[in-house]
Structure 1
Amino acid sequence: MPSQSTDYSYVHAKDNRNLDHLPGKYGLPLIGYTFPFLVEPYAVLEKMYKQYGPISKASLTFNRMLVALGPEYIKLLTLDPEQIFSPRMGYDGPLGDFFAGGLLMRDFGEHKIHRRIMQTAFKNDAMKGYVEDVHSVIDSSINSWGQQADFKFYPNVKELLLDIAAKVFLGLDLEGPETQQLNQDFLDMMAATVALIRKDWPGLLYRRGMDGRRGLEKFFISLVGEKRQSDGRDMASFFAKETDENGQLFSEKVVGEHLIFLLLAAHDTTTSALTMTASFLARHQDWQDRVRAEVLALNKPHIEFEDLGDNLKDTEMLFKEVLRLHPPVPQLMRRTVRDTEIDGHSVPAHTLIQASPLYTHRMEEWWTNPHNFDPDRFAPGREEHKKHPFMWAPFGGGAHKCIGLHFAGMLYKCVLADMLSRYRLKFVDGYQYPAKVQHFPFAKPLDDMPLVLEKL
């Protein structure tokens, strides 16, 4: 068993780049398979799997790494009982500067301590209060969608979800320039995660991303003192009042850093899920009718917290299928903290490892017609996802399993239900399905998903 006091000196070590003993190829000098991987990640991973099997080396996203494909490796990396695989160092290259201090960038015992800051905010009593706030924000904006000419789904649902996140996470009603600035800071920060030149220098994409991070940090930290004096039911109020094992409040900087990561995770990942859902439902009108009928059968102005389980079975299957085809976290990254072995392959300390939900979710060994949209694969009596506990893993697993997974499901269902009870989603005449999809950092159609919203 791992010791209780972890030695964190591994964070100062450089990545191990010598993986010559593993099967596979690095690809082109310097860039490896980075560009084809960003455009068609499944195709690249499928070729590697067929040529070399589930374990191979490659250079992806400008980094040499071990690629481990299949549900068993998601299990290995996420459960990690021996504390060998560091999420912090796995994500340090693309995300370390932007999410420093966030839950994703904390390992082992430190992660456990900081996860406690958030637990109260995601319990059922708190979640029930969020549902009411979510619907109030939806009502104030979604009715105007059908009046827009040349409506594009992605930017509209992104703005809506940022407004919801501000209300639920921060207890704020953001308007106009304030919302636009927050949104721009998030956009700049996430765009910089795939920057080629990763230097905080004037004129570079990375500098814009770091400026976005600095703006967000200043904004969130400034809220903490006020939240400690309030009796609000928003997440920032819960976080601001949590204490460590000695009864001391966490610093304003720590609370602010957690809010940056969670606000992004809440609104950007759900934006992706709802956008891809809109694309599927415009294509598959039968499923749009099924989900709408399920919502209208409740005979309520809005769905309630108690409806989120058994009363919305078709909606739940739809949610699972969209996340199967387009998982919010397409690749799980880890880095070894010491020498280890995987399936007979020696893996040195400080080696980057990728396990891929995006690939695992479409493996023909596990799924029937895996590239087809088929939510009924999750229906009772069929339940394909139960063949292996980690073959459907959009939220990861183990100690780092997404703490907001139930919140994400609630937010998705509330927005989808309110939208489908007002509109029928249809493609613009001549629109080609499927659109080309941007896979990183989150899935979305490159054209921002133009739609016709037909008022019911």
Structure 2
Amino acid sequence: METFLSLAPYIFSILTIFFFFQQINYLKKKRFAPGPNFVFPFIGNAISLVRNPTSFWDLQSAMAKSTDAGFSVNYIIGKFIVFIRSTELSHKIFANVRPDAFHLVGHPFGKKLFGEHNLIYMMGQEHKDLRRRIAPNFTPKALSTYTELQQYTILKHLKSWIDSPDSSTKPFPLRLLCRDMNLETSQNVFVGPYLSGESRKQFEVDYNFFNVGLMKLPIDLPGFAFRNARLAVSRLVKTLGVCAEDSKTKMKLGEEPTCLVDFWMQDTIREIEAAIEAGEKQPPHTSSIEIGGHLFDFLFASQDASTSSLLWAVALLDSHPDVLSKVRSEVAGIWSPESDKLITSEQLREMRYTEAVAREVIRYRAPATMVPHIAGEDFPLTEDYTIPKGTIVFPSVYESSFQGFTEPDQFDPDRFMEDRQEDRIYKRNYMAFGAGPHQCVGQRYAINHLVLFIAMFTSLFDFKRERSDGCDEISYVPTICPRDDCKVVMSLRCRRFPCLS
């Protein structure tokens, strides 16, 4: 004890010097940029970010608005960060994803979670080659196949919701129900028959570990949620790799594709066989384990973002009865649940107003509000400010969605109809699917899924949301959702539920 007391002044002095130099380093990077002038050593403002992400990012936005800079700064877990509010500056980040500028990370600690060799970390020709291989997954024929799988899964889950004994009397939250529905939809669409039985159950357990760990501090030690998430990702990738191998076997037999991985493996097999005939080594990105990693990227990109959009669609339709009435009228003129038939691809294209609603939901509440990048080198963001190397940069697609558009704070699907075409006029501000070389390749699939859900949910059910103070406030889980998880009471509005085999 005496030894410690004698050393205490020295320890205190060392810590004081360390904290002082860390603060000086932060201010040197900050310069004139809007942001806090003092940050706690090492942890920075991580506690406020974890406790209330909405307030944290609202404050960053307010600081960015306080000057004409279009951005603000902060410090979290030893990392200097830059929050981008300006649409033009966000495009500058998205357009400069390359080794000597910005590296897309998808999540501040994404490389620890996903590994370093997945799609979101690729750049240049390697990235272009992989996107070329992915393109056949989203042709009209492929999307038509997915449309059927999406509807069967949506209807299965909607029936389970309405079969609940309290569904018409007691409000229940939709978030976890939508999440489970979307996870099964992704499984059915991406790997279809190749994931079944115990492997499907374990898949769902592991994905839940991953989901929980996304929002936790990156403590990679046994017993911590982040470690559980990282190990779960490894297991998920291996499982999806087995699915890819099984698909290769099936496609070699010349069978018709029944899910996304089948469409992918058709061309992959041809490439592998051509390489073998030419005496060359197997082409890159064609091994089953690599494809498993890319399939997980798809799952991550579609799962939580889609859940967010479904919840906001229900919430916004409930609070805008005029929009709900127009959706029901359009859908009723094209498809009836009592027909016992699925919505065809042709009918889906006819639902133009319903698609406008879907696009406005995505604009008004962009699911993934920010797309983190890391500065690989010092980068001149403006004439006066250079982003230091190693900075985590957060271009805000959410903020861009409220810039340029006519009365952007209003939920107004008509803005995307033919007579106004704000999706074309303000295309640069509509960045919910990203921009530049890493723009989402599956955006048509995502919009189809939201349109199908809206069409079926509103046709099958009368629903009323339980409104409470703050229920529409944004909660990060990790994409944005209504704070109350969208609690509703539902009743069947048609004579019977579709009985599709």
* TM-score normalised by L of structure 1: 0.86
Whether 2:66 is the aligned partner of 1:51: answer yes
Q: CA deviation at 1:209?
A: 0.9
1:23-62 → structure 2 map (5 Å cutoff): 23-26=33-36, 28-29=39-40, 30-34=42-46, 35-36=48-49, 38-40=53-55, 43-52=58-67, 53-59=69-75
The structure number with the bigger radius of gyration is 2
1:3-33 Cα distance to aligned partner (Å, 9 max, x none)? xxxxxxxxxxxxx975133412345314444
**Percent identity over paired residues:** 22
For residue 428 of structure 2, give the secondary structure of its aligned residue in structure 1: coil
The aligned residue for residue 86 of structure 1 is 102
Partners in 2 of 1:448 and 1:175 — Cα distance?
29
Structure 1, unaligned runs of 5 or more: 1-15
Aligned equivalent of 1:362, options 388, 391, 402: 402
Say which of 231, 234, 237 aligns to 1:211: 231
The answer to whether residue 240 in structure 2 is matched with residue 220 in structure 1 is: yes
TM-superposed deviation, 1:200: 2.6
Report the alpha carbon displacement of residue 218 of structure 1 after superposing the two structures with TM: 2.7
For 2:355, the equivalent position in structure 1 comes to 316
Return the alpha-carbon distance in structure 1 between the equivalents of residues 429 and 229 of structure 2.
34
The CA deviation at 1:229 is: 0.9
Which residue does the alignment assign to 1:260?
296
* Bigger Cα displacement from structure 2, 118-127 vs 229-238: 229-238
1:395 positional shift:
0.3
Amino acid in structure 1 at the alignment position of 2:356:
M
Q: Specify the code of the residue in structure 1 equivalent to 2:392.
A: L
| Per-residue deviation, 1:125 | 1.5
Q: Distance in 2 between matches of 1:173 and 1:116?
A: 24
State the distance in 1 between where 2:30 and 2:481 align. Answer: 35
Q: CA deviation at 1:76?
A: 1.4
Q: Do structure 1's residue 73 and structure 2's residue 89 form an aligned pair? A: yes
Match 2:325 to one of 289, 300, 304 = 289
Cα deviation, 1:70-117, whole Å, max 9, x if unaligned, reads: 2112221222387643334x4464211222333112222222122233
Q: Secondary structure at 1:315's aligned position in 2? A: helix
CA distance in 2, matches of 1:121, 1:295: 28
Instruction: Tell me the equivalent position of 2:411.
Output: 373
Can you list the C-alpha shifts for 1:386-424, whole angstroms capped at 9, x where unaligned?
454321110001210001100101111112212211102
Counterparts in 2 of 1:174 and 1:153: CA distance versus 1, 3 Å = farther
Aligned to 2:189: 168
Report which of the two has the higher share of helix: 2
Distance in 1 of aligned mates of 2:287 and 2:194 = 25
2:455 match: secondary structure: helix
Deviation at 1:159, TM superposition (A): 1.6
Residue 462 (structure 2) aligned to one of 409, 421, 424: 424
Q: Does 1:398 pair with 2:436?
A: yes
Partner of 1:203, secondary structure, is: coil
Q: Report what 2:262 is aligned to.
A: 237
Alpha-carbon distance in 2 for matches of 1:333, 1:167: 29
CA deviation digits over 1:338-391, x for unaligned, max 9? 33322212334333322111122224xx24443332223333444445454321
Residue 203 of structure 1: how far off its partner (Å) = 1.2
Equivalent-residue separation in structure 1 for 2:240 and 2:195 (angstroms): 13
RMSD across aligned positions (CA): 2.8
Decide whether aligned partners of structure 1 residues 137 and 369 sit closer, same or farther in structure 2, where only a CA change above 3 A counts.
Answer: same
Q: Quick one: structure 1 residues 210 and 233, their matched pair in 2 at CA, closer, same or farther if it must change by over 3 Å?
A: same
Query: What residue number does 2:10 align with?
Result: none
Distance 1:82 1:186, change over 3 A: closer
Q: Is the 8 A contact 1:302 1:418 kept in 2?
A: no
CA distance in 1, matches of 2:462, 2:100: 49
Question: Are positions 1:444 and 2:481 aligned together?
Answer: yes
1:159 corresponds in structure 2 to 180
Q: Partners in 1 of 2:470 and 2:33 — Cα distance? A: 37
Aligned with 2:131: secondary structure? helix
Match of 2:161 in 1: 145
Q: Secondary structure of the equivalent of 1:65?
A: strand
Deviations 1:19-62 (A, max 9, x none): 13341234531444442571235522331123233133222576
The residue matched to 2:82 in structure 1 has which SS?
strand
Query: What is the match of residue 120 of structure 1?
Result: 136
- Which residue in the other structure is 1:389 paired with? 427
